[in-house]
Amino acid sequence: MADIPQPRSSVSKPVIPSQQTFDLNQRSRVNFTDQVSFRDVPLSVGEWILTIIVLAIPLANIVLYIYWAFISKGNQSRINFCRATIILAVFFFLVSALAGFSF
């Protein structure tokens, strides 16, 4: 004889997906240096002071601005700072040249 299907109830039970359990010992063994790049770590106050002092040196600052903005694979904050400074310098140079001011 064939099995007779049972009637379904009008209210069905919610399906709960299998929950992953995390082993705390396994989580503690994760090496966070693999997940966070050194480029994403903010510069310390001392590194910013050193950066500003080095960028105050004539002629060296131009070379370092270009190096840090376009060539370096270093800290992303320093790269963005140098790119923004170069963009502002070019903008102000063009505005002053168009206005006829002399340097």
Q: What is the extent of the structural domain holding 64?
A: 38-99
pLDDT at 87: 96
Overall number of domains in the chain: 1
Residue 26 has pLDDT above 60, yes or no: no
Inside any domain, residue 29: no
pLDDT digits (tens, 9 = 90+) for 71-89: 988 899 999 999 999 999 9
Average pLDDT over residues 18-37: 55
Inside any domain, residue 80: yes
Residue of 74, 83, 84, 82 lying closest to 40 (CA atoms) = 74
Which residues fall within 8 angstroms of residue 51, CB to CB, at 6 or more apart? 43, 78, 81
* CA–CA dist 49, 21 (Å, integer): 46
Inside any domain, residue 19: no
Residue of 73, 77, 30, 33 lying closest to 51 (CA atoms) = 77
Inside any domain, residue 62: yes
* CA–CA dist 14, 44 (Å, integer): 51
Inside any domain, residue 89: yes
